[in-house]
């Protein structure tokens, strides 16, 4: 069967699954590009540059490095350095707030992928059940047809289950991958915040 035959067999359920598939693929590609852009700089290399500038007492170059680096941990470090004249508690609180903001940005749209992965299988099963009901109803109305007719109707109905699995499996895999990436970003932000606090504490002594 080609795609149009599958849609004809599955009816409205197949249209829903097709729309979910297109949405899922679009979000997956968008998130992959976004995470790739935010992963171009290693935290260790970045913090080495910041440490060197701060030890020389050059705060402005350090903040410029943060602004020029498109990574979540760079924004967290900038949040700490921009509050340098405040107390250490205020600096720490500002970095914690920035971690929450960056985490929210990183998790953008991922819940949709998770929902599609969880629901698509059930939507496919729903379409299969409707197809089986329709197949048996057609047989009862016509009053004729043997096992071959029943099997034909059920095989067509199972196309919805297959389509649901085809949508769900990539979405679940992508969701788990994205959650792992977000966790890695959070670890980097927390480590960068901790290192920044150590640098600021040493600077204020």
Question: Tell me: the pLDDT tens digits for 15-44?
Answer: 888 899 999 999 999 999 999 999 888 989
**Model pTM score:** 0.81
Question: In 181-191, which positions are buried (b, 16+ CB within 10 angstroms) versus exposed (e)?
Answer: bbeebbebbee
**Would residue 74 be called left, alpha or beta, if left means φ above 0 and alpha means ψ between -120 and 50 degrees?**
alpha
> 27, 111 in Cβ contact below 8 A?
no
- Count of beta carbons in the 10 Å neighbourhood of residue 154: 14
Residue-wise pLDDT for 94-118, tens only, equals: 999 999 999 999 999 999 999 999 9
**145 in helix, strand or coil?**
coil
Which of 11, 34, 14 is closest to 22 using CA atoms?
14
């Amino acid at each position: 069967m080609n795609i149009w035959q599958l849609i004809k067999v599955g009816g409205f359920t197949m249209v829903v699954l097709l729309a979910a598939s297109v949405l899922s693929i679009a979000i997956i590609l968008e998130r992959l590009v976004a995470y790739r852009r935010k992963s171009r700089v290693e935290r260790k290399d970045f913090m080495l540059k910041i440490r060197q500038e701060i030890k020389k007492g050059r705060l402005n170059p350090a903040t410029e490095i943060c602004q020029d680096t498109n990574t979540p941990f760079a924004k967290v470090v900038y949040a700490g350095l921009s509050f340098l004249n405040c107390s250490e508690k205020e600096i720490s609180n500002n970095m914690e707030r920035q971690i929450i903001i960056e985490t929210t940005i990183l998790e953008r749209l991922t819940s949709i992928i998770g929902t599609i992965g969880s629901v698509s299988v059930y939507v496919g099963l729903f379409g299969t059940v409707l197809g089986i009901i329709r197949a048996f109803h057609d047989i009862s109305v016509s009053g004729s047809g043997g096992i071959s007719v029943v099997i034909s109707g059920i095989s067509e109905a199972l196309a919805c289950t297959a389509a649901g699995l085809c949508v769900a499996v990539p979405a679940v895999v992508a969701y788990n991958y994205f959650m792992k990436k977000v966790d890695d970003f959070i670890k980097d932000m927390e480590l960068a915040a901790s290192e920044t606090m150590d640098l600021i504490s040493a600077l204020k002594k």
